[in-house]
Structure 1
């Protein structure tokens, strides 16, 4: 079986269904994950990591889940001559059968249920990148059309993915559109969960303001509020149907090409508007089922995830659910006919069957509703001769409910225990693989003690990923019997992995299957890990533990390779150290000459001995910073820790580049703290001296004080962007920031800014408005409003204020307070124009023209008798 990943409620349930049906036919299943381990937040890549499909050399048949292989590779699989059945994928050949859940029937039932609740404006949210999602969308539109409703384009909320984030994005778009719908069909449960959370965070009350029905029946839907009504596509039965078709093709029977659909069921919870959890079982009319037998059959059909475990649970899903139905019916029949209570052994068996069938979270509520309905129907159907058996029948229903409750509780406790064991196993694996000081991870000794199955690790024999069957070497096995140890060192190919000896070692008919997961992480691709285990079908996230182990194994192998490289480098450095000591003797003889040359050139020289980790600082170097000779030692920190924090990273990176073999000499300006506590700008120049092996041995350079030149450069740069008289931002820099604000407005619908123009006016007949007025305006404007705001002088008497990130309520309070303070302190000499929003304006020049027009209109409205112009 080829699948993008090998865990989670979707892929895991499909694999579990395949395994159930295959075990019943005497076959063993190998589930191959075709996508890399450790995927980033389930953002699947465009294609699988496996160039050659694994295990094709020794399999009887192949089930391929949609998107696990590209169309080209899927077509190439047919050349191997292995019978193929697809799940939710477009066929590579017209003869290929494709098994899909009944997306059309499930969505139709969901839409009609919302119509029954009185909704007519029903929307759809989802990502249409996959076949199933496109079918669900088409079924939604056609069902509305059948009921005389034409779906509006505004009712379609596109999701960026099939996860919670995509649902939250769709909720944001719905709110921005003014909530045109009263109910929504979600393509996936995870979309719906993110959608509901986003709506509730904005104050909407669900399902009053928006009813929701989803598709998938994942356990996460039972954990949200309100609990999610959903369509159960019965993914396990989809997998079972795929195996039935595959076995028929393997036996030479005719199998119809095209689609084979598996019926789905609507699971009603509170998110659609219903007040209690119900199931399709309660939809059976009374005249069709007088005593409730059909009710119980349909309840068993929808309330359970599927049989796992041992004993009875090894039978097919249908047989196991029929056995549960009979275990419920028999005590009720005995009580109705004889008036006797159910036997404890029968109740215990019913409890065992209930736990083995993995009941869904809402199963117990459904069972209470259905069994009480069955009780009423059976009591009403008792003949007069057995009317005295009614109390016994009611007690029997109560006893059955208690047994079923114990089974549901036991299943939940078993799942909790399984999760706790998984956490313990993950901790053991994490510690063993990341410690890096034990045995090689290739030996698989890091596997948890609870793993009793077999495992095998194959690493690629070369990094060549060209077309063809890649060669690999088996480097480690896990086998309690020791019979597989002979595989270590064997060369094989990807198409022959896992080796037949590993798959034959497993017991046919057991619950375990063999998983094959790529040992990858980031850019590393080491090989393949094959391991026996059980599939996880109930987790919302497709994060199978074997996926996690394979990703950590790739990290551990990366670390092992790095440590080996470091050991080789250390050996080389030790050899170089001996040569360096001889070179150091020669260097010491030259130190006096270096000191004299430094004093003559007025430069502070320094000499960094890489192997010894010490630095020689010349007397001139220390004098340049104002320190006495005995204050500065010979450690690199004497220099680096006095470097300005803003320059420290750049200097460290430049030195590291030199020591790493940089081809050009080091030349960098940075600030260094002097003995007085202030910082001076220094020019550092250095070259690297190599030893005989070509490795950096010394770093020799000078330090020159360039403070006066640097400060002059900074002053020139500042004057280019600031008004020299006031120190405020000038017109050039203001235009640049206005342009950036306009660009951000176009990108973000929630962002806006305000602009104010303050103009100092002359009095009529007065050529000079007075320096005190300008001085007071500048003094007020220098006070910062908030980080991100800008105050600029654009002309002799004009000042512009750019207020960043304003809300939808108009002029922000900080701008109002500033303008009121200016009017109070400066008086009528000011004219003010305020532009509350820049949205819709083309460029910065248009913003300035618009705010000036606002100012001029404000002047035109003033009393003409005033002495202002």
Structure 2
């Protein structure tokens, strides 16, 4: 199976989604599958990538014949490493000076020239340009704007360049504010993107400008929003699907050895005339009805989408009730199949913690895979056989918290704003859910440690005095045959005084170990304090008496201790007390304590 890889900052929306749709279509015609990898973290918002990200892993390299790289989705170093494996790379709408590879661009010159000439045809000569000069495609559009003016005998005025901070609506709004601050010296403006144009329209309209009378506006992209602005936006349409398809065909040829030398491929653009340039509205009743139907369908789609996202958000917020790693929440979506790979500490492989298949309610577990082999072949096969679908891979990573990778098989979603794609949100919510699970697990461990610390002696691990008395009281209440042994070490103070408390602690630990070993299931040892221990006998079998058990303990504790290379010897005195009908825990311990002192004073070892 031939698999084409795609590296992209985001995996949906009008721009990235449009390109992916074209790539998927061309791949399907060739019988190939597509795996698209998001190179930005989950939940990342729309940003201008002044510095391309450097993916930490060779994701999907084992599966792919090569990669289409959308804009500057990955660092040149990463792409060099990819090319070094023999896999071809094709870049869309970006130039990497360090790389020798084919590129695919929209023909900026044809579209921008048509836009400027159209404005000149309306009689405009003071034509401005507003765009983000930090992007190479915007620089090319600006250069074409200047050359077209010169070709028509109009000297470009540097004062009519209004730089936007980015390609987004906010960047266009900032440029429009600069235009107003300069006294609106132009009668028309060409913008670098439709989003820039939307920002210009909004700010100029709010300032009281009559558009297009006071300022004609032309965009570039032909977003769906362009036909719903007031006035409707004249723009240059770049056929994103065809650009993506061209990139896929170039990659397939390169992977098949028929691609030829690296070259720049351009896809034609066209001017779409509406009213923002000054042209009259061609809208008729039929167009209005079609627009109303379109808006109704869009409203219905948005309602369904919001409802689905709400339900998924609640599912992932309930991660303390249902494990989100199982991916059962994907059943609420249109996803055909998916899996979750989690990094294994100290291992290069991803553990497949969840596997979802819409047509197999009990999807079989998948074995671990290296990053280069993710997503597993089952996911890619599902993408190949599901018409119009491709495999998406998004990091389950927000900030410094990197859990792994989420892969899904689905169709491209063209509707959301860039950075607001559903899979992007799912991965971000999943990261939060896994963070919550980890925090909850840590808190429970700490709670257990605190509980154990409150109930057990920190040195020996035996139940402390308080916990021992609780256990003893419970045994008495059950009506079991209960006896208590009070154990005191003879000669222990001399060890502390001679060798120090560190050696004394080692002796106490060894004493605790011997008590456990001798008692087994017959009873429970606890530490009373200092060199004194308690033993609860509530499970003596026939033939075992408390006194006999006490003598065995005295014998075991009297064997020499070899610590730090030196032999040490202590002995033990044990008092025995049996429970009777009116005995409580404290009384029984006092009786055993008194018996122990009799054994110590008489040097008999054991007294009852």
Please report the TM-score for the alignment, with normalisation by the length of structure 2.
0.70
1:103 match: 108
1:145 pairs, out of 147, 150, 156, with 150
**C-alpha deviation, 1:237, in angstroms:** 0.7
**C-alpha deviation, 1:33, in angstroms:** 0.8
**C-alpha deviation, 1:66, in angstroms:** 1.2
2:263 match: 258
Contact 1:8–1:538 (Cα < 8 Å) also in 2? yes
**C-alpha deviation, 1:411, in angstroms:** 6.1
More strand by share: 2
In the aligned structure 2, how far is the partner of 1:233 from the partner of 1:434?
Answer: 40
Q: Name the SS of the counterpart of 2:103 in structure 1.
A: strand
CA 103–172 in structure 1, closer or farther in 2 if over 3 Å, else same = same
In the aligned structure 1, how far is the partner of 2:207 from the partner of 2:258?
Answer: 57
CA 507–71 in structure 1, closer or farther in 2 if over 3 Å, else same = closer
2:320 pairs, out of 437, 455, 464, with 437
2:389 match: 512
Contact 1:429–1:448 (Cα < 8 Å) also in 2? no
Q: 1:249-328, aligned counterparts within 5 Å? A: 249-277=254-282
Q: Name the SS of the counterpart of 1:261 in structure 2.
A: strand
**C-alpha deviation, 1:458, in angstroms:** 0.6
CA 447–508 in structure 1, closer or farther in 2 if over 3 Å, else same = closer
Q: 1:78-157, aligned counterparts within 5 Å? A: 78-91=83-96, 95-157=100-162
CA 414–203 in structure 1, closer or farther in 2 if over 3 Å, else same = closer
**C-alpha deviation, 1:116, in angstroms:** 0.7
1:178 match: 183
In the aligned structure 2, how far is the partner of 1:45 from the partner of 1:256?
Answer: 28
In the aligned structure 2, how far is the partner of 1:548 from the partner of 1:17?
Answer: 24
In the aligned structure 2, how far is the partner of 1:563 from the partner of 1:45?
Answer: 38
Q: 1:760-839, aligned counterparts within 5 Å? A: none
In the aligned structure 2, how far is the partner of 1:140 from the partner of 1:228?
Answer: 18
CA RMSD of aligned residues (A): 2.8
In the aligned structure 1, how far is the partner of 2:450 from the partner of 2:345?
Answer: 29
Residues 203-246 of structure 1, C-alpha deviations (whole Å, 9 max, x = no match): 22211111110101111222322221110011111011112222
**C-alpha deviation, 1:22, in angstroms:** 1.1
**C-alpha deviation, 1:164, in angstroms:** 1.1
Pair 1:565-2:442 in alignment: yes
1:285 match: none
2:356 match: 478
CA 541–405 in structure 1, closer or farther in 2 if over 3 Å, else same = same
In the aligned structure 2, how far is the partner of 1:174 from the partner of 1:557?
Answer: 48
CA 430–108 in structure 1, closer or farther in 2 if over 3 Å, else same = same
Q: 1:591-602, aligned counterparts within 5 Å? A: none
**C-alpha deviation, 1:572, in angstroms:** 2.7
Contact 1:18–1:243 (Cα < 8 Å) also in 2? yes
In the aligned structure 1, how far is the partner of 2:362 from the partner of 2:144?
Answer: 52
Q: 1:638-653, aligned counterparts within 5 Å? A: none
CA 23–122 in structure 1, closer or farther in 2 if over 3 Å, else same = same
Residues 124-152 of structure 1, C-alpha deviations (whole Å, 9 max, x = no match): 11112222111111111111111111211
**C-alpha deviation, 1:486, in angstroms:** 4.3
1:50 pairs, out of 38, 55, 59, with 55
In the aligned structure 2, how far is the partner of 1:450 from the partner of 1:44?
Answer: 30
Residues 656-713 of structure 1, C-alpha deviations (whole Å, 9 max, x = no match): xxxxxxxxxxxxxxxxxxxxxxxxxxxxxxxxxxxx9xxxxxxxxxxxxxxxxxxxxx
CA 254–517 in structure 1, closer or farther in 2 if over 3 Å, else same = closer
2:399 pairs, out of 500, 515, 522, with 522
Residues 369-388 of structure 1, C-alpha deviations (whole Å, 9 max, x = no match): 9xxxxxxxxxxxxxxxxxxx
Contact 1:27–1:509 (Cα < 8 Å) also in 2? no
Residues 470-509 of structure 1, C-alpha deviations (whole Å, 9 max, x = no match): 5322111101444994444x32221111111221134436
Pair 1:31-2:33 in alignment: no
Q: 1:100-499, aligned counterparts within 5 Å? A: 100-277=105-282, 414-462=297-345, 470-482=348-360, 485-488=363-366, 490-499=367-376
1:7 match: 12
In the aligned structure 2, how far is the partner of 1:73 from the partner of 1:223?
Answer: 41
2:431 pairs, out of 544, 554, 569, with 554
**C-alpha deviation, 1:449, in angstroms:** 2.9
In the aligned structure 1, how far is the partner of 2:227 from the partner of 2:94?
Answer: 29
CA 409–58 in structure 1, closer or farther in 2 if over 3 Å, else same = farther
In the aligned structure 1, how far is the partner of 2:179 from the partner of 2:331?
Answer: 48
Q: Name the SS of the counterpart of 1:19 in structure 2.
A: helix
**C-alpha deviation, 1:41, in angstroms:** 4.8
Residues 624-651 of structure 1, C-alpha deviations (whole Å, 9 max, x = no match): xxxxxxxxxxxxxxxxxxxxxxxxxxxx
Please report the TM-score for the alignment, with normalisation by the length of structure 1.
0.50
Q: Name the SS of the counterpart of 1:214 in structure 2.
A: strand
Unpaired segments of 5 or more residues in structure 1?
278-364, 370-400, 465-469, 585-691, 693-869
2:22 pairs, out of 5, 13, 17, with 17
In the aligned structure 1, how far is the partner of 2:31 from the partner of 2:361?
Answer: 23
2:595 match: none
